[in-house]
């Protein structure tokens, strides 16, 4: 049995790519996309026809962007049995009303293409404004994937908002702690279950299970197989092609590490709350999460701008 087969026995495997030609390589159920992946795919000559068809008839670059996102999403759903996550323009991460408008527009495009709502997750950055928007969208039957999630405070607010799924960024959390430690970083000491990113996800996952939170936890942003192995049993894990290939060719055992029937001792007894003051205070006390959220929004916004430039010239 390959490591990928072993992992799939306890965790839903999600492929993190917009490369359509790769999707059938693994037995993944869902797929996630983001501005960086869409920028790369849109610049690929293999998909020039798809891009041209998507943007035909529109001169508005934002409209072209949404058309392109949905075009890739529809193609992905023809190749996988589950859901696709499609991200709202990252430049709207601190704009609740703007996020609502674009999220509704994206879902309307999917519905017009014949895609059932339950096969689409609208990705939104887990800022306060994004979480408020997600609460409203969930009430309308538009399910959301809250991304760029780095802190326990973000996860609590998402749970209280009734968000369908969250994507805590394992690798980026660990990157921050590694950078802070510099030459003092001990890679062996912070491996597997001792990895800061892994520990952050385990805390969130346990809290959700202990309080009966139905929000799905999907670990994201992986750097190596040890991080993945330590989170075997998590609801979902979204994994890039390079690591999926490594899992498929490895015979490393991936025994279940997280078991919903035995989530472990209660560490965070307070149930999730949706309170802006609580959220702001939690983020203020977590420098890593604040810095990585700001950085993530900035980088995804830059990638969105790059896609818009590509589409303006299309």
Interhelix angle 287-312/61-77, nearest 10 degrees: 100
Look up residue 282 and give its two tokens: 């939690």
Torsion of CA 13, 15, 20, 25, to 10 degrees: -50
- What DSSP element (H or E) covers 166? strand 165-168
Residue among 258, 276, 304, 254 at smallest CA distance from 3: 254
CB of 14 closer than 8 Å to CB of 260:
no
Torsion of CA 143, 145, 146, 147, to 10 degrees: -160
Phi/psi for 269 (5° steps) reads -80, -25
Q: How is residue 81 annotated by DSSP?
A: S
**Marked catalytic residue, from 40, 123, 189, 292:** 123
Strands (E), the chain: 12-16, 30-32, 84-87, 120-125, 144-149, 165-168, 216-219, 236-239
- 123 in catalytic set: yes
Query: Exposed/middle/buried for 247, CB within 10 Å: 0-12, 13-18, 19+?
Result: buried
SS3 of residue 36 by DSSP: helix
Bridge partners (DSSP) listed for residue 166: 146, 217
Positive or negative CA dihedral for 239, 243, 249, 252? Answer: negative
Q: Which residues are annotated as catalytic?
A: 123
């Amino acid at each position: 049995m390959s490591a990928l087969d072993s992992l799939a026995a306890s965790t839903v495997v999600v492929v993190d790519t917009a490369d359509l030609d790769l999707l059938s390589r693994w037995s993944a159920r869902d797929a996630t996309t983001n501005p960086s992946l869409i920028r790369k795919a849109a610049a690929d000559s293999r998909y020039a026809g798809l891009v041209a068809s998507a943007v035909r008839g529109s001169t508005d670059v934002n409209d072209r962007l949404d058309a392109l996102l949905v075009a890739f999403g529809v193609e992905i759903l023809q190749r996988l049995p589950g859901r696709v996550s499609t991200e709202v323009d990252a430049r709207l991460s601190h704009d609740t009303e703007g996020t609502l408008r674009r999220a509704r527009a994206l879902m309307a495009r999917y519905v017009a293409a014949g895609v059932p709502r339950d096969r689409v997750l609208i990705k939104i950055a887990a800022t306060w404004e994004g979480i408020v928007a997600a609460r409203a969208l969930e009430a309308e039957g538009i399910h959301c994937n809250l991304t760029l999630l780095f802190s326990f405070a973000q996860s609590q607010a998402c749970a209280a908002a009734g968000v369908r799924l969250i994507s805590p960024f394992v690798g980026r959390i660990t990157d921050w702690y590694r950078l802070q430690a510099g030459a003092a970083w001990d890679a062996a000491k912070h491996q597997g279950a001792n990895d800061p990113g892994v520990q952050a996800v385990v805390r969130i996952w346990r809290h959700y299970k202990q309080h009966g939170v139905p929000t799905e936890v999907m670990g994201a942003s992986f750097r190596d197989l040890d991080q993945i192995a330590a989170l075997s049993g998590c609801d979902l894990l979204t994994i890039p092609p390079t690591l999926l290939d490594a899992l498929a060719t490895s015979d490393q055992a991936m025994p279940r590490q997280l078991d919903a029937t035995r989530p472990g001792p209660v560490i965070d007894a307070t149930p999730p709350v949706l309170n802006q003051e609580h959220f702001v205070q939690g983020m203020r006390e977590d420098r890593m999460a604040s810095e990585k959220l700001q950085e993530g929004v900035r980088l995804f916004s830059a990638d969105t701008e790059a896609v818009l430039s590509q589409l303006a010239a299309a």
